[in-house]
């Protein structure tokens, strides 16, 4: 599941996270399943944070460029 989560887009990870939160808030989830969902949610949260950080760094890089047109290759955590 780690590999599958590593390639999730921000939107997909956020959607999955929202589904997990809704299930956890319903109160109908047994404790064992609740713990598993919490673990999955924590992983998805890290993915979302990583994607947002990548976007923030890319925006900062673009802001620093003088003409705003020349783009440089931007290495992300997934590419390294």
Q: What percent of the chain has pLDDT over 90?
A: 57
Q: pLDDT of 31-67, one tens digit each?
A: 999 999 999 999 999 999 999 999 999 888 888 776 5
**What is the CA angle 68-69-75, rounded to 5?**
85
Q: Are residues 68 and 51 in contact, defined by beta-carbon separation less than 8 angstroms? A: no
Q: How far is CA 64 from the centre of its chain?
A: 25
Q: Which residue has the higher pLDDT, 31 or 74?
A: 31
Residue matched to tokens 């673990």: 39
Domain boundaries, the chain: 2-79
Provide the pLDDT for residue 32. Answer: 93
Whether the predicted pLDDT of 1 surpasses 50:
no
The CATH class, in words, for 2-79 is mainly alpha
What percent of the residues of the chain are helix, what percent strand, and what percent coil, each to the nearest 5? 75, 0, 25
* 55 vs 71: which has the higher pLDDT: 55
More confident residue, 35 or 77: 35
């Amino acid at each position: 599941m780690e590999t599958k989560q590593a390639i999730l887009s921000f939107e997909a990870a956020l959607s999955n996270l929202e589904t997990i939160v809704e299930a956890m808030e319903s109160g109908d989830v047994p404790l064992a399943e609740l713990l598993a969902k919490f673990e999955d949610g924590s992983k998805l949260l890290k993915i979302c944070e990583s994607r947002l950080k990548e976007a923030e760094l890319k925006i900062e890089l673009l802001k620093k460029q003088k003409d705003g047109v020349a783009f440089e290759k931007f290495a992300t955590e997934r590419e390294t």
